[in-house]
Chain A
Amino acid sequence: MTDINIRSDSIDVEQIMRQIRARIREKRGVDYTEEEIRELAAVKLEKFLDPRGVRSDLLEQFRRKREATLPPNFAFEESTLFETHRPFLRFMRRLLRPILKLFFNPNPLIEALHIQSKLNAQHAALEPLYYEVLHNLVLELTRTGIEVKNLKMRVESMSSRLDFDERRARALEGVVVYRPGAATPLQPPSGPSEAKPHAESTETQERRRRRRRRGRRRPLDGTQGRPSEAREPRSTPHGQESARREGGAGDQGEARQDVSRDTGAPPTGNPGNGDASGES
C-alpha cells in the first residue's frame, strides 16, 4: 500500500493523489487505467478473447439497442385514460364517460395496457441486471486476458533465463571438475594421524565446532573433554556419514549467520509484519 511521507506542515492533496495513482499503476503492473480497460473491453476484445466466443462490439450493440428501444413506462390504471389535473375537464370526462361507453368498451383495452405496463416494469427491472452481468463479465475477461498475456511474457522471459543459467552452470561444472591441478577430490578421512594436517590448517574452525558440540551434548563420561577421542568414531563408515551430516549442517548454519551479520538483516523471521504481508 501507499507509503506517504508527511515531511512538512503543509500538505498538498493533489500531490498525494498523484502519488496514490502512481502507486496503483505500479501495482497493476501494466499502465492501464480503469477507463483504458473499459475502452479495451469495448473496442479491442478480438485481441484478447476468442472472436468466435464473444463479439468484440457486443457491449456497444447491447447498449445501443437498449437506449434505442427503451420505451417510457407508466402505471396504467382504470382512470388513466381520463385523468387530468384540470378539475373542470375531469368533471366533464366523468360526466361523458357513460356516453363514450355506448360507442365502444374501453375495459379490455385498459386491462391489456395495465398488464403490458406491469410487464414493461418487470422487463425494465431485469434489463439493467443483464447488462451489468454482461458488462462485468466482459470487463473481467478483458482484465484476465491482459493479465494472462503479461504472465505468458513473464514465463517466456523466465524460461529463457533459466535455460541460460542451466547452460552456464553446466559449462562451469565442466571447467571445475576437469581442470588440471585443481583441488583434490574429497577423500574419506582414514584416521586421526592422517587427518592432522587438515585439522591444523583449519584449527580455529575445528575448535569452534568442537566447543559447540560439547555444549550441545549431555556429559556421559570423562573422555568428552578430549578432542582427539571425540573425533575417533568418525573413522567408521557410520561415523563418516554422521560427521558429514553434522559438519555440513554446522557450516551452513555458520555461513547463514555470517551472511546475516554482514547484511545486517535479521537471521530469522518475517521481513514484514503479519498485516503487511497478508494484505499486500
Chain B
Amino acid sequence: MKLAVVVQRYGADINGGAELHARYIAERLARHADVEVVTTCARDYVSWRNELPPGLEQVNGIPVRRFRVRRERDPNVFGRHSRQVFERAHSIADELAWLDSEGPASDELLDYVSGAPFDFVLLFSYRYYHSWHLARRIPEKAVLVPTAERDPAITLAIFGPVFRGVRAVMYNSHEEREMIQAATSNHRVPGVVVGVGSNVPSKTQPLRFRQRFNMNRRFAIYIGRIDENKGCDELFNYFHRYAATFPRGLDLVLVGSAVMPVPAHPRIHHLGFLGDEDKFDALAASDLLIMPSYFESLSMVALEAWALGRPVLANGRCDVLKGQCLRSNAGLFYESYEEFAETLYALESNGPLHARLGLNGREYFARHYAWPVIERKYLDMFARVSASREEGQSVETLPNWWSRRRSDQPPATELLRAIPSGPATTPAADISPALDRRRPA
C-alpha cells in the first residue's frame, strides 16, 4: 500500500499540533505501508515563508517531498477576508478568496499529489488550501484528518461538500465528530474517532529534572505555547489569586515558547522550550498538568500526562477537554476562579484522589491512545474503504459563476452558535453519537 501524508508544514523541529500529529502518524504507518510525506517549504505558519529547500529529503527515515509556496500570507488581506466571511453576509466567492488568502498555496504540490500513484492520501487540517483542493481533485483517495476546533471556519459553505465527498474522516475526538457532523451533515461518510498516540518514554527521570532546573517545591505544569489564545492570560490571573490564598501551595512551571509576557512571580517558573526528554521528565516530576485552552481538537500533552499517570486540570469551557476528563475519569475541570482554586487544592492535597485520577489516566491512554490501537484503527479504515471502493466518487460541484457571487451566506459566527456544544460522554472509542450523546442540562 502506498500512502501520502499531506500536511502544511513538516519537520523534526516543527511542533505545532497538527504537524506533530502528522509526523507521528507518518512514522507509525511507515511500519505497515510505503509512506511519503508531501509538504511545503514553509516553517512559519503565519507567513508561510519558504525557508526550507524544495525537493526530497529524509526526516526520521521517512521520505519528505517539499514544494515552494506560491506567495506568502498577507495578514492584512487575510484579516479582511476573515472578517468578511466570519462576521458578515457573504458569497461563496468570498469564502474561496478567504481560503486563497489563508494559504499555503502551492499548485506544484497539488499537481504532484494528484498525479502520483498513491492508494490513499491522508490530508491533515481541513481548513488549509492543500486539503480543500486535493479533496476536490482526488476524492476517491482522500482520507481527511480534520483537526478541527470549534471555530467559525467549520461552518463555511465551501467545506460541506469536501467533508461529504472524501472516502473517510479520521476524527480526533467525539466532540469534534459531532461538531463536524452537525455542521456538514456527513454522517454517511465512514469515520472513526482515532486521535493520536505519543512517543512517551518507558522510563523518566523526574529527579534529574529537579536537579537540573533547581526545582525543590511541588508544582503544576503547563506545556505548550504561552499565548492568550491558549488561555494563558486567564491561567496567570487565576494562579496569582491562588498563590495569594495558598502561600505554601503548588508552584506553576511553564514549558514552551512565550508569545505573551510571562508575569514575574516567585512561584511562576518559565523554562522556555524543552526537548522531549526534558519535557517528559518535567511532566513526571510535576503533580498535575494544567490545560487552560478554550479550543482544542485533541490535546496531545494531556494524553502524555495521562500516559505518565498525572491528572489533568482542564478548562471546562473547552468541550473536548471536558469530555475527555469525564470519559477518562482522570482529570478535573474549572469554569471560574472558585472552581480553579477548589479543584487545584483538591488535586494538591487529596492524595487518594490524585492517585486514582492518575491511575485512570494511565488506563485511559493504554485503552484508547496506545500506538497499536491507533495503527489498527487506521489500517482497519483503509481496509474498509478499499473493500467498498466506489467508482466515480466525486465532490459536489461549485455553483456557477453568478451564484458564487451572490451574497446569500450568513456570517459563520452565527452559524457556529447554532451548532450544539458540550462534552460527549461516550465511554467507548467509536459508538454512534445518536445513542450515547449525553449533554449537561
- A residues neighboring B (CB under 8 Å): 1-4, 6, 9-14, 16-17, 20-21, 23-24, 27-28, 34, 72, 74-75, 85, 275, 278-279
Q: Is A6 touching B356 in the complex (CB atoms < 8 A)?
A: yes
Could you tell me the distance in whole angstroms from the C-beta of B215 to the nearest C-beta in chain A? 21
Q: Is A20 touching B356 in the complex (CB atoms < 8 A)?
A: no
Q: Is A17 touching B332 in the complex (CB atoms < 8 A)?
A: yes
Could you tell me the distance in whole angstroms from the C-beta of A7 to the nearest C-beta in chain B? 9
Could you tell me the distance in whole angstroms from the C-beta of A36 to the nearest C-beta in chain B? 12
Which residues of chain A are near B74, meaning CB under 8 Å?
A: 85
Is B59 interfacial (CB-CB < 8 Å)?
A: no
Which residues of chain A are near B343, meaning CB under 8 Å?
A: 17, 20
Q: Is A14 touching B326 in the complex (CB atoms < 8 A)?
A: yes
Give the contact stretch, choosing among B77-85, B172-180, B395-403, B409-417: B77-85
Q: Is A11 touching B346 in the complex (CB atoms < 8 A)?
A: no
Which residues of chain B are near A20, meaning CB under 8 Å?
A: 332, 339, 342-343, 346
Q: Is B356 touching A17 in the complex (CB atoms < 8 A)?
A: no
Which residues of chain B are near A85, meaning CB under 8 Å?
A: 71, 74, 77, 100-101
Q: Is A24 touching B338 in the complex (CB atoms < 8 A)?
A: yes
Is B421 interfacial (CB-CB < 8 Å)?
A: no
Q: Is B76 touching A6 in the complex (CB atoms < 8 A)?
A: no
- Selected contact of A13 from candidates B246, B329, B336, B339, CB within 8 Å: B329
Is B432 interfacial (CB-CB < 8 Å)?
A: no
Q: Is B248 touching A75 in the complex (CB atoms < 8 A)?
A: no
Is B196 interfacial (CB-CB < 8 Å)?
A: no
Is B132 interfacial (CB-CB < 8 Å)?
A: no
Query: How far apart are the CA atoms of A238 and B79 in the complex, in Å?
Result: 94
Which residues of chain B are near A74, meaning CB under 8 Å?
A: 76, 79-80
Query: How far apart are the CA atoms of A74 and B101 in the complex, in Å?
Result: 15
Q: Is A13 touching B326 in the complex (CB atoms < 8 A)?
A: yes
Query: How far apart are the CA atoms of A66 and B155 in the complex, in Å?
Result: 26
Is B357 interfacial (CB-CB < 8 Å)?
A: yes
Q: How many B residues have CB within 8 A of the partner chain?
A: 35
Is B333 interfacial (CB-CB < 8 Å)?
A: yes
In B339-378, the 8 Å CB interface with A consists of 339, 342-343, 345-346, 349-350, 352-353, 356-357, 360
In B58-106, the 8 Å CB interface with A consists of 71, 74, 76-77, 79-80, 83, 100-101
Query: How far apart are the CA atoms of A4 and B352 in the complex, in Å?
Result: 9
Could you tell me the distance in whole angstroms from the C-beta of B233 to the nearest C-beta in chain A? 11
Is B195 interfacial (CB-CB < 8 Å)?
A: no
Which residues of chain B are near A75, meaning CB under 8 Å?
A: 76
Query: Which B-chain residue is minimally distant from A280 (CB atoms)?
Result: B245
Is B331 interfacial (CB-CB < 8 Å)?
A: yes
Q: Could you jot down 17 A-B contacts, CB within 8 Å?
A: A1-B342, A2-B342, A4-B350, A4-B353, A13-B329, A13-B332, A20-B332, A20-B339, A20-B346, A24-B339, A34-B338, A72-B80, A74-B79, A74-B80, A85-B71, A85-B74, A85-B100
Is B250 interfacial (CB-CB < 8 Å)?
A: no
Which residues of chain B are near A17, meaning CB under 8 Å?
A: 332-333, 343
Which residues of chain B are near A14, meaning CB under 8 Å?
A: 326
Query: How far apart are the CA atoms of A278 and B79 in the complex, in Å?
Result: 50
Which residues of chain A are near B80, meaning CB under 8 Å?
A: 72, 74
Which residues of chain B are near A21, meaning CB under 8 Å?
A: 339
Query: Which A-chain residue is minimally distant from B80 (CB atoms)?
Result: A74
Query: Which A-chain residue is minimally distant from B356 (CB atoms)?
Result: A11
Is B325 interfacial (CB-CB < 8 Å)?
A: yes
Query: How far apart are the CA atoms of A16 and B311 in the complex, in Å?
Result: 14
Q: Is A12 touching B329 in the complex (CB atoms < 8 A)?
A: yes
Query: How far apart are the CA atoms of A27 and B289 in the complex, in Å?
Result: 26
- Selected contact of B360 from candidates A11, A23, A72, A275, CB within 8 Å: A11
Query: How far apart are the CA atoms of A47 and B204 in the complex, in Å?
Result: 58
Which residues of chain B are near A2, meaning CB under 8 Å?
A: 342, 345-346
Given that A2-B345, A6-B352, A20-B339 are contacting pairs, would A13 and B325 also be in contact in the complex, using a CB cutoff of 8 Å?
A: yes
Q: Is B346 touching A1 in the complex (CB atoms < 8 A)?
A: yes
Q: Is A4 touching B76 in the complex (CB atoms < 8 A)?
A: no
Query: Which A-chain residue is minimally distant from B246 (CB atoms)?
Result: A279
Could you tell me the distance in whole angstroms from the C-beta of B426 to the nearest C-beta in chain A? 14
Query: How far apart are the CA atoms of A17 and B338 in the complex, in Å?
Result: 12
Which residues of chain A are near B346, meaning CB under 8 Å?
A: 1-2, 4, 16, 20
Q: Which 10 A-B pairs have the closest CB atoms?
A: A6-B352, A34-B336, A24-B338, A20-B342, A1-B345, A74-B76, A13-B329, A11-B356, A2-B342, A6-B353
Could you tell me the distance in whole angstroms from the C-beta of B72 to the nearest C-beta in chain A? 10
Instruction: Give B211-250 as 1s and 0s: 1 = Cβ < 8 Å from A's Cβ atoms.
Output: 0000000000000000000000000000000000111100
Query: How far apart are the CA atoms of A270 and B429 in the complex, in Å?
Result: 51
Which residues of chain A are near B247, meaning CB under 8 Å?
A: 278
Which residues of chain A are near B332, meaning CB under 8 Å?
A: 13, 16-17, 20
Q: Is A275 touching B248 in the complex (CB atoms < 8 A)?
A: yes
11 extra interface residue pairs, beta carbon distance < 8 Å, beyond A4-B353, A28-B338: A1-B346, A2-B345, A4-B346, A4-B350, A10-B329, A20-B342, A72-B80, A72-B83, A85-B71, A85-B74, A275-B248
Query: Which A-chain residue is minimally distant from B88 (CB atoms)?
Result: A72
Query: How far apart are the CA atoms of A3 and B353 in the complex, in Å?
Result: 10
Could you tell me the distance in whole angstroms from the C-beta of A198 to the nearest C-beta in chain B? 56
Query: How far apart are the CA atoms of A14 and B246 in the complex, in Å?
Result: 25
Which residues of chain A are near B356, meaning CB under 8 Å?
A: 6, 9, 11
Given that A1-B345, A72-B83 are contacting pairs, would A6 and B339 also be in contact in the complex, using a CB cutoff of 8 Å?
A: no
Which residues of chain B are near A12, meaning CB under 8 Å?
A: 329
Could you tell me the distance in whole angstroms from the C-beta of B86 to the nearest C-beta in chain A? 12
Which residues of chain B are near A3, meaning CB under 8 Å?
A: 350
Which residues of chain A are near B100, meaning CB under 8 Å?
A: 85
Query: Which A-chain residue is minimally distant from B77 (CB atoms)?
Result: A85
- Selected contact of A11 from candidates B329, B338, B349, CB within 8 Å: B329
Q: Is A6 touching B79 in the complex (CB atoms < 8 A)?
A: no
Could you tell me the distance in whole angstroms from the C-beta of A230 to the nearest C-beta in chain B? 53
Which residues of chain A are near B79, meaning CB under 8 Å?
A: 72, 74
